[in-house]
Structure 1
Amino acid sequence: MTTTGIRTVPAPAPEEPAHRDGNVLRWLGAYSASAVGDNVYFLALSWAAVQSGGPAQAGLVMAVSAVPRALLMLGGGVVADRFGPRRVVISSDAARCAAVFAVAGLLVVASPGVWLLAVLGVVFGTVDALFMPAVGALPARITGRGQLARVQGMRGLVVRLAHVVGAPLGGLGVALGGSAAAFGIAGALFAVSLPLLISLRVGELPADDTAGGRTAWGDLGDGLRYIRGHRVLAPLTLVVALADLGFVGPLNIGLTMLADERGWGASGMGLVLAGFGTGAGVSALFLTVRGRVPRAGLVLSLTCLTGAVGVGTIAYVPGLWTAMGVALLVGLLIGLTGALTAALAQTESAPAYVGRVTSAFSVFSLGVAPLTYPLTGVAVGAWGTAPVFTASATACALAGAYGLCSRSLRAAELPR
């Protein structure tokens, strides 16, 4: 018996696992060199500023670097969508490399002072506002949608490695040749990332059919309207904003003051940070190996909510080792929250909006949240560490609770 009129449709080719994909590994190598270079650069900048003018001037230099990043990050997403993330990330990485090498050369022959470092901070922060959305939008063009969660796990591992390697490498540069040598190392790392970025094979994504004749401001407004009207991205943006505003200040400023208040010293603060970094690294490794977490929206909301309890608990635990254990748990939970958030943001975004969505999510953690450092310091000075950590934990808890209350986010899934 024969059958006729039946068409056999071939099954879609399986996606190549991200950890075996040479294209993804080249992107990861470029991102690794750039991330380590960032850590070396910021250490070199702060050290040079302290040597040139003192702690107050150092704080000013670091602040002027953060301001353009906060103001221009959303525009960076527009540029990435208009011109393609590969082109933008290569151009901006080359600009960062040139600026850092130029300052390293000037420091070898002269001592220009704090003003030069402030100019470098403004230039670097401005270029970073283009670089960060573009490099974050690249995974959607170099791998399949089903691999984006694994890529975010791999990216998380790189971030932890960069923190571990970058500071000692920068310190070694300062010890051997001063700030100029440290800036030179940062520039060399940025240079290493360039050929890897140039060699990337980037898939073409559909263009935004409504973009014809629109200005950059129109593109930005359209991107924000797209996020606001999206059933998953809109609540996810609010979760990211609340979580970052509640988490970044205590980790970076509050923890320093807590260690001083408890008499743990710099080594104790380092141990607590190491606990957080270890936990975040374990969660990144878990996502890298597993590749997908079912009910991603529900899981990220729950981990954010339970991680908030840990954030508030750190200020109340009696001993250093207990605080380190709590920090490890917080890193594990919040690290998984962040990786799942990034993966969902990219898989839920329409191709033409990936850059703008990435920039909207990045602006809180990389732009706005660091500007809360002075507020955190003032609040700790006025009320003490415990109330400030409690308030920060409340913001994180509100983020998780809102995610749980949003039916669309709670039901969001990563593609298989």
Structure 2
Amino acid sequence: MRISDFRLLAAGQTLSWVGNGFQTVALAVAVVLAGGGAGDLGLVMASSIVARLACTLFGGVWADRLQPQRVMVGSDLVRLLTAVAMAAMFAGDGYHLWLLCALAAISTGAASFFDPAFGALRPLLVPVEKRQSANATLSMLQTGSQVAGPALGGVTVAAFGASAGFTVNALSFLASMVAALLLRVRAERGPRASMIGELAEGWREISKRDWLLGGLFGATVYHIANGVILVLVQVVAIERLGGPSAAGFIAAAEGLGGVLGAAVALRFKPRRLLRAGWLTLLLMPLWALAYVWPAELIAVIAGAIIGYAGLIYFDVAWETAIQDHVPQRMLGRVSSWDYLTSFLAMPVGNVLAGPLADAYGTNKVLTVCAAVLFLSAAVQLLIPGARRLTRVQPATAEPTRPPELAGTTGT
């Protein structure tokens, strides 16, 4: 029964991930064609970032208070309505920047509730021994969707206009919502405390595990450096490697690398999975350094495939370690702290990219940031828990209530 629930969830999420690609293209095209330009688009993106930072931790608390699929359904409903509103705005030539910023913030805020709930739900849907395979499957589907979604969205928006892209995204949220409504698994929920108390409880759960606390701080440093890199490599690709077509080839290589990394995670299942994950993350600097030397398109493409394969394998290892060793009733809050470090650090790196490149030169900044990527992953191998953590076995895993008995406690 749980396996069929997992397939249902995977199908709904794949459609939603593809739909997000449609909205990404539609939003940029709609703002530019409405005369907004880069300034307006930047404000819309900033509104989304602020909403993400403001809502993520609270999303984790509610994911642990309610049945996670209920939180997901509510989030999908809100995002469906905001996508419909965006479609109506641009279909009627009624562009208002303040309204678009508000809609973007509401949509992203809803997503901040969805993500921790999704993280809390996944381990309930498969047996312990299949968690790594399930995480690898979802990573493969998400990576593929991130390539296919914008490509299909570009074709659709070019043919039918930006409103069509928003409409497709709204339908994808409907598909995700229906899938979540059909899930039969239930999580056991305990008594509630104050919001601040539950947030603090989630942080205590992190701080008593050296591999988890070290990983979050390491990820913060990693994402600041990666935020710088992601801005600068776009400039290098367009100015030095062949323009927009080169950027497209590199993006495709990154997607291919992610799919390969997930495919490896489906097969390669070491007992010390987290240690293997940190080792594969050491491949990511090769991608950044390829822009510096030999600075040829073919080398960058190869670096992107190798680096992103390592990144996605690490993501699978990290998610599996959290699911194995954090109690299910705490997964939403722990996941929300994990998401927050990423979303807080990445924009900081994005903002620093331009000033650093102007002051020191693009190649020097890329080289230093690649070294930061390497060190932030390598230092994790000095943490005893990260080196020694082993996959949990079915007999020692925290039990989950059978679907037919669940639902008698909690909301």
- Structure 2-normalised TM-score? 0.90
> How many Å separate the matches in 2 of 1:263 and 1:279?
20
> How many Å separate the matches in 2 of 1:41 and 1:293?
38
Contact 1:258 1:315 in 2 (8 A): no
Contact 2:206 2:212 in 1 (8 A): yes
> How many Å separate the matches in 2 of 1:338 and 1:246?
18
Shift of 1:249: 3.7
> How many Å separate the matches in 1 of 2:341 and 2:26?
25
Q: Does 1:364 align with 2:341?
A: yes
Q: 1:404 aligns with which of 357, 381, 385?
A: 381
Q: Does 1:157 align with 2:140?
A: yes
Superposed, 1:144-293 pairs within 5 Å as 144-205=127-188, 207-208=189-190, 211-212=191-192, 214-251=193-230, 253-290=231-268, 292-293=269-270
Q: Does 1:390 align with 2:367?
A: yes
Go from structure 1 to structure 2 and tell me whether the alpha carbon gap of 1:351 and 1:318 turns closer, same or farther (over 3 Å shift): closer
Contact 1:148 1:343 in 2 (8 A): yes
Q: 1:31 aligns with which of 6, 13, 27?
A: 13
Q: 2:116 aligns with which of 106, 116, 133?
A: 133
Shift of 1:242: 2.8
Aligned length: 392
Bigger mean CA offset, 42-51 vs 350-359? 42-51
Shift of 1:307: 2.7
Contact 2:22 2:165 in 1 (8 A): yes
Report the counterpart of residue 40 of structure 1 in structure 2.
Answer: 22
Contact 2:12 2:179 in 1 (8 A): yes
Go from structure 1 to structure 2 and tell me whether the alpha carbon gap of 1:39 and 1:377 turns closer, same or farther (over 3 Å shift): farther
Unaligned runs of 5+ in 2: 394-411
> How many Å separate the matches in 1 of 2:112 and 2:319?
18
Contact 1:26 1:200 in 2 (8 A): yes
Unaligned runs of 5+ in 1: 1-15
Go from structure 1 to structure 2 and tell me whether the alpha carbon gap of 1:331 and 1:67 turns closer, same or farther (over 3 Å shift): same
Shift of 1:155: 1.3
1:6-43 Cα deviation digits (max 9, x unpaired): xxxxxxxxxx9x8xx21111010111111112221122
Give, as a single letter, the amino acid of the residue that structure 2 aligns with 1:189. S
Give, as a single letter, the amino acid of the residue that structure 1 aligns with 2:113. L
Go from structure 1 to structure 2 and tell me whether the alpha carbon gap of 1:245 and 1:342 turns closer, same or farther (over 3 Å shift): farther
Give, as a single letter, the amino acid of the residue that structure 2 aligns with 1:153. A
> How many Å separate the matches in 2 of 1:229 and 1:317?
44
Q: 2:351 aligns with which of 374, 377, 395?
A: 374
Identity level (%): 25
Contact 2:227 2:345 in 1 (8 A): no
Go from structure 1 to structure 2 and tell me whether the alpha carbon gap of 1:91 and 1:142 turns closer, same or farther (over 3 Å shift): same
Q: 2:81 aligns with which of 98, 105, 125?
A: 98
- Structure 1-normalised TM-score? 0.89
1:345-388 Cα deviation digits (max 9, x unpaired): 22111111100111111223345414432222332233332222
Contact 2:274 2:314 in 1 (8 A): no
Give, as a single letter, the amino acid of the residue that structure 2 aligns with 1:273. A
Shift of 1:309: 4.2
Q: Secondary structure at the match of 2:161?
A: helix
> How many Å separate the matches in 2 of 1:184 and 1:161?
21
1:236-279 Cα deviation digits (max 9, x unpaired): 2223323333324423x222111133142111122222222211
Superposed, 1:281-360 pairs within 5 Å as 281-290=259-268, 292-360=269-337
**Higher CA-based Rg:** 1
Q: Please, what is the CA RMSD of the aligned residues?
A: 2.0
Shift of 1:131: 1.2
Go from structure 1 to structure 2 and tell me whether the alpha carbon gap of 1:139 and 1:122 turns closer, same or farther (over 3 Å shift): same
Contact 1:304 1:400 in 2 (8 A): yes
> How many Å separate the matches in 1 of 2:29 and 2:344?
22
> How many Å separate the matches in 1 of 2:9 and 2:109?
22
Q: Secondary structure at the match of 1:317?
A: coil
Give, as a single letter, the amino acid of the residue that structure 2 aligns with 1:69. R
Report the counterpart of residue 68 of structure 1 in structure 2.
Answer: 51
1:47-105 Cα deviation digits (max 9, x unpaired): 22222211121122112112211232111111101112111011101110011112212
> How many Å separate the matches in 2 of 1:318 and 1:376?
19
Bigger mean CA offset, 189-198 vs 259-268? 259-268
Q: Secondary structure at the match of 2:282?
A: helix
Contact 2:84 2:167 in 1 (8 A): yes
